[in-house]
Structure 1
Amino acid sequence: MQDPMSWAVPLYRAFGILVKVHFTFFLITIPMFLRLVYLADGAVWWFDIFMLCVGLVFMLVLLHEYGHCIAARRVGGDASEILLWPLGGLASVENPHTPKANFIVAAGGPAVNLVVCIACAVAFLAAGFSPLQALNPFSHPYQTTAYNYQDGRYYSSNYDYYYYKPGTSEPAGTRTTSDKGVVVTLPGSAEQAERAILPAWLIWAWRTCWLSWWLFLFNVLIPAYPMDGGRMLHAILWHRIDYRSATVTCCYVGYGAAAVLVGIAILTSQTALACLALFIAWNCYRTLTQETESERGAFGYDFSQGYTSLERDDPPPVRRKRKNFVRRWLDARKAKKRQQEQEQVTRDDQRMDDLLDKIAKSGKNSLTDEERRFMERVSARYRNK
């Protein structure tokens, strides 16, 4: 069976990294966009919905994955591919098998989101506005409210209303909020009121900051393996205990996080959140299964109970159950991955021999930066075996 994760469309290659989009990205995001347009019922322009929920999400998730790739290369690893799909992004990276390297690679993505937030906040402060509302993940992404330090007024997008008496920071009219939005009742006098509206570039800087901050919190504060927060927790535990115990602990923490996300998804009727919870639970189950199988020795004995299993004489034959479809697909995927890893090792060994010949002929200074990183990565892999 073909791996469903390979059903992707290549977009471009930059910095040696191939960026691909999974076909389900379009199957999920387009209907979701149309649903949001329908629910808005004309209150929000469809272009703003598209740019926020599709355009900005795509850009920020892509930058997030580039953060993982950059971090992998900074610790002596490498990155080859980024896959964007409805539940976020997946970066194919190789990094040294150490707790520190794994923590840095996992933190690289959220770090990029944090840098984007800081850059937007600096732009707001330079323009005389406060970025605090954009750092509130519960703020309305379309109303886009910001306080101006210079004139003491609140400014917003076209989807919110702030009226002031001319030349002052004194509100004009009565401001009320209901399920249908914000309503401002202006006085019936001839006095004209001034509406405080943010410039277009600040509106999108606000939304970029808000969404990037939301992605940062979402990835860091949910300790669900294999998300960034779960991987950082795994690296911290790995530093204190052994790798396997850290993996098992993080998987059970991931089960708990998935259960909480399912509850939130039911209360809020968020299908995407429920899908994310199922994805987390499935990954935790798969990881636990692999760790359990790795306990068995090369001869099929379970050494987790000591050597008593070797002392049993002629155990009764056990009829093995036929594996179901999911189990067969997982085994085929794992076998294919092992084959690809073996082929990659063979190619790396061949290239390492070529580079050693190059050093013998022309000296170490003849190596390029990429060749040096390659030799360091392969050497680290052999040291960590």
Structure 2
Amino acid sequence: MWGEIPLGKPFGIELRLHVLFFVTLVLAAISQAWVSAYAVAWAVVLAGPVLLVTIYLHELGHCLASKMVGADVHYILLWPLGGLAFVGHSSSPGRDLFVAVMGPLMHLPQLAVWVAILALSAHVVHYPWHSSLHLPDIRSHFWLAVCVGAAWLNISLMIFNLLLPAYPLDGGRILVDLLLLCRVPVKPAAVVTVALAICVAVLLIVWGFVETAILTIAVGAWMLYTTWELVMCIKNGTIEAHPMFCYEGATSQPRSAAPPRSVAPEVMLPAHQPRSAAV
């Protein structure tokens, strides 16, 4: 696909970087340009190598979980709004729930590593630990500021993706899987998913305009765009064919009246839809 740069196959999974990812660096630099050169450097480090590694490990969690449940793994794409893990369709809501959760949970070990590095670094430079979770002066404690920023980046992305029940974020997939596991029929589950996704997307766009956060606006717009696909599936009566709902036994009618149906064939489904560190 246009603009995708191959970065090898770490852990046997192809990794690609989209050239538009560098837009994130430009926006990060602009956001701190009025502060100082040190602030610009700090923002670029966080939005560059730190964010890349953070997103990659998140998507790697999805991919490794997919392999564990027997689904095919195709590749990982890092792009301006975050990351996409292209994996095969899971065979049940329970397995898909496992795949969806493993991405956000990858932020826990990353957070532990950054906090450990922060504690050690603060001890070396005699920076008081009780206040080191707050952003220190970037000019005098640049590395500590990077550690603090990386720690909060992992916290925010984990909360955003795990607890925000909005499609196409991980939280939206988790919501769908839980609804299906609770034997909620497909169409009502899809309607709930669409309603929540639209509300969250609109709030993100409004927040983005208030805070002048371009990436936040872009994430909200992307959520509306992808949610429209679900809206059309519901309208056309094809929601059961959508990868998030096409499990054996899933139906728009109550489960007790549902005839058995086969699982849909292998599809290319992003295990984790775009999200941005700017949100």
Both proteins in one fold, TM over 0.5: yes
1:261 corresponds to which of 199, 204, 214: 204
Partner of residue 70, structure 1: 64
Task: Name the CA distance, whole Å, in 2 between partners of 1:199 and 1:30.
Answer: 18
2:230 corresponds to which of 287, 292, 295: 287
Pairwise CA RMSD? 3.3
2:21 corresponds to which of 6, 21, 25: 25
TM-score (norm 1): 0.55
Asked if structure 1 preserves the Cα contact closer than 8 Å seen for 2:107 and 2:158, the reply is yes
| 1:54 has 2:35 as partner | no
Task: Name the CA distance, whole Å, in 1 between partners of 2:86 and 2:9.
Answer: 14
Structure having the higher Rg: 1
CA-CA distance at 1:216 after TM superposition: 0.9
1:248 corresponds to which of 168, 172, 191: 191
| 1:15 has 2:11 as partner | yes
Task: Name the CA distance, whole Å, in 2 between partners of 1:115 and 1:223.
Answer: 23
SS at match of 1:40: coil
Asked if structure 2 preserves the Cα contact closer than 8 Å seen for 1:75 and 1:95, the reply is no
Asked if structure 2 preserves the Cα contact closer than 8 Å seen for 1:106 and 1:231, the reply is yes
Q: In the TM superposition, what whole-angstrom CA distance separates every residue of 1:101-120 from its partner, at most 9, and x where no partner exists?
A: 11111111111012211233
CA-CA distance at 1:10 after TM superposition: 1.5
Partner of residue 334, structure 1: none
SS at match of 2:235: helix
Task: Name the CA distance, whole Å, in 2 between partners of 1:199 and 1:59.
Answer: 19
Task: Name the CA distance, whole Å, in 2 between partners of 1:13 and 1:219.
Answer: 25
| 1:148 has 2:129 as partner | yes
CA separation of 1:33 and 1:124: change in aligned 2, threshold 3 A: closer
CA separation of 1:147 and 1:259: change in aligned 2, threshold 3 A: same
Q: In the TM superposition, what whole-angstrom CA distance separates every residue of 1:182-233 from its partner, at most 9, and x where no partner exists?
A: xxxxxxxxxxxxxxx7694x55433321211121112123221010111111
CA separation of 1:14 and 1:280: change in aligned 2, threshold 3 A: same
CA-CA distance at 1:264 after TM superposition: 1.0
Superposition pairs of residues 264-343 of structure 1, within 5 angstroms:
264-295=207-238
Structure 1 runs (4+) greater than 6 angstroms displaced: 126-129, 152-156
What letter corresponds to residue 229 of structure 1 in structure 2? G
For structure 1, the residue ranges without an aligned partner over 5 or more in a row are 130-145, 161-196, 297-303, 305-337, 345-385
CA separation of 1:276 and 1:148: change in aligned 2, threshold 3 A: closer
Superposition pairs of residues 94-113 of structure 1, within 5 angstroms:
94-113=88-107
CA separation of 1:243 and 1:15: change in aligned 2, threshold 3 A: farther
CA-CA distance at 1:247 after TM superposition: 2.5
CA separation of 1:271 and 1:203: change in aligned 2, threshold 3 A: closer
Task: Name the CA distance, whole Å, in 2 between partners of 1:245 and 1:214.
Answer: 30
CA separation of 1:46 and 1:291: change in aligned 2, threshold 3 A: same
* Count of residue pairs the alignment pairs up: 242
CA separation of 1:18 and 1:291: change in aligned 2, threshold 3 A: farther
What letter corresponds to residue 59 of structure 1 in structure 2? V
What letter corresponds to residue 72 of structure 1 in structure 2? S
CA-CA distance at 1:23 after TM superposition: 2.7
CA separation of 1:47 and 1:246: change in aligned 2, threshold 3 A: same
Task: Name the CA distance, whole Å, in 2 between partners of 1:87 and 1:157.
Answer: 28
Task: Name the CA distance, whole Å, in 1 between partners of 2:151 and 2:15.
Answer: 24
Asked if structure 1 preserves the Cα contact closer than 8 Å seen for 2:138 and 2:145, the reply is no
CA separation of 1:46 and 1:262: change in aligned 2, threshold 3 A: closer
SS at match of 2:168: coil
Superposition pairs of residues 66-145 of structure 1, within 5 angstroms:
66-123=60-117
Task: Name the CA distance, whole Å, in 1 between partners of 2:107 and 2:209.
Answer: 28
CA-CA distance at 1:66 after TM superposition: 0.7
| 1:225 has 2:219 as partner | no
CA-CA distance at 1:292 after TM superposition: 3.3
CA-CA distance at 1:7 after TM superposition: 3.9
Partner of residue 205, structure 1: 147
CA-CA distance at 1:9 after TM superposition: 1.9
SS at match of 2:8: strand
CA separation of 1:95 and 1:158: change in aligned 2, threshold 3 A: same
CA-CA distance at 1:246 after TM superposition: 1.9
Q: Percent identity?
A: 25
